[in-house]
Amino acid sequence: MPLLIGPLAHPLIRARLAPQATEAGSLQAALIGGGLAGIAPDGWPRLAAGDDRLPLWQADWTPALRRYAEIFGLAPQHHQGQELLGLGEPASDAPQWQSELAAAIADRLLGLPGNRPAEAIRKRLPMIASWVASRLRAEIETASLPHVGPAAIDRVRIDSVEEPHAEYFSVEAIRLSQHRNDGGWTEPLARAVFVSGDATVVLPWDPVRDRVMLIDQMRAGPLARGDAQPWLYETVAGRVDAGETPEQAARREAVEETGIALLQLFPAPHNYPSPGAVAEYLYLYVGIADLPDDSAGLGGLATEDEDIRSHLVPRAELTRMALAGEIRNGPLLNLALWLELRHHEIRRELGQGTETALAGLPPSVGGV
């Protein structure tokens, strides 16, 4: 029987994997890393010398614990004659472990069909974790919103959720009944939802030179539709990884796709771009940046097969393009028009758009 240590010994995780585990003392040592334990495949901590007293829990190999360990590639590590489960390499440098997110991911993984190979699930862990994190954000961010009619819990009954397609993105097939506006209930309805997780979208803007940075890259959606020009002007954008905030994702994606650092973020209205069939929520920002003449070029991550080209465009030209119908990317269109309406207000918050906007503004001034 293994001894659970570190994140696996946490009550939220232990209750899901080995609820009958018993206390087995402690180990004098330290854990290095582990900020993405149970969130990313390589997020588990490593053991090091130290004076911490690390609690140990003795557990049977329950079906849930065995399945979970197989998915994450966890194996017992021998230490002083004991078999410790919950350690790995390399250590993660994530700042703080999110136990509730890790617990929700565990629920998701244990709810997947048992005949699905653990290795196949492991390859999809980043997207699975991103989707679970998206659901947690939705619960928190919308809890205080005014309802359009009665609360959803009183208007929808979900009978089943299946996942007939699961690759990088997935499709969920939902069977539900809906309480109608006339007071009755519908017969069971079938709805298919494309699952991609939340994304962040940011338009870099230099308020001193009054120019923005756009990118272009080939897009599969327009290509599949038969679009003769599937290279669209776009914003910087990307998935919000599990364990990071939308703001952190915006800054990370700006560096990855264009090589520029964003000095400050101003949130625009966030939204669902296609709520009828796509479970994607977009966090929109205008990002203050220094955009000299030589800042445009080629970018993107080779590991993600990205081939991105960036362009410097005067803000007034972007507005003209938007009003002329030349912008076909929805998030860019939203941000172009929002910036046209708000650029004077943003300039005031930045100090009338002087070089103070490019000198590293304190986070307390206006944006994130």
357: confidence class by pLDDT, cuts 50, 70, 90: very low
**Is 212 found in the same domain as 334?**
yes
Angle between helices 63-72 and 99-110 (to 10 degrees): 110
Could you tell me if 346 and 228 lie in one domain? yes
Please choose, from the candidates 69, 147, 14, 170, the residue with its C-alpha nearest in 3D space to the C-alpha of residue 4.
Answer: 14
Number of structural domains found in the chain: 2
Task: Please name the helix (run of DSSP H) or strand (run of DSSP E) that holds residue 229, with its range, or none.
Answer: none
304, part of any domain = yes
What is residue 185's DSSP assignment?
B
Count CA within 13 A, CB hemisphere, residue 223: 5
How far apart, in Å, are the Cα atoms of 278 and each of 11, 16, 21? 35, 30, 41
In a domain, 99, yes or no: yes
Residues 135 and 339: their CA atoms lie apart, in Å, by 29
Annotated binding site for Mg(2+): 237, 253, 257, 306
The pLDDT tens digits for 257-305 are: 999 999 999 999 999 999 999 999 999 999 999 999 988 778 777 766 6
Binding-site positions: 237, 253, 257, 306
**For the chain, percent of residues with pLDDT exceeding 90:** 74
What is the Cα–Cα distance from 350 to 365, expressed in whole angstroms? 8
**Residue 256 pLDDT greater than 60, yes or no:** yes
Which tokens belong to 54?
């690390």
| pLDDT band of 368, cuts 50, 70, 90 | low
Please say which residue of 80, 108, 136 terminates a domain: 108
Q: Which of 108, 123, 149 is the C-terminal boundary of a domain?
A: 108
Question: Are residues 354 and 249 both part of a single domain?
Answer: yes
Q: Whole domain around residue 72: which residue ranges?
A: 3-108
CB 331 within 8 A of CB 273: yes
Which residue in 304, 340, 345, 349 is the catalytic one? 304
16 close to 63: Cβ distance less than 8 angstroms: no
pLDDT value at position 149? 60
Residue 336 lies in a domain: yes
326 is catalytic: no
Q: Is residue 34 part of a domain?
A: yes
The confidence score (pLDDT) of residue 92 equals 62
Residue 11: count of CB within 10 angstroms of its CB? 10
Mean pLDDT, the chain, integer? 90
Does a structural domain hold residue 53?
yes
| 147-169 confidence digits (pLDDT tens) | 666 666 678 999 999 999 998 89
Domain boundary among the residues 89, 108, 127 is at 108
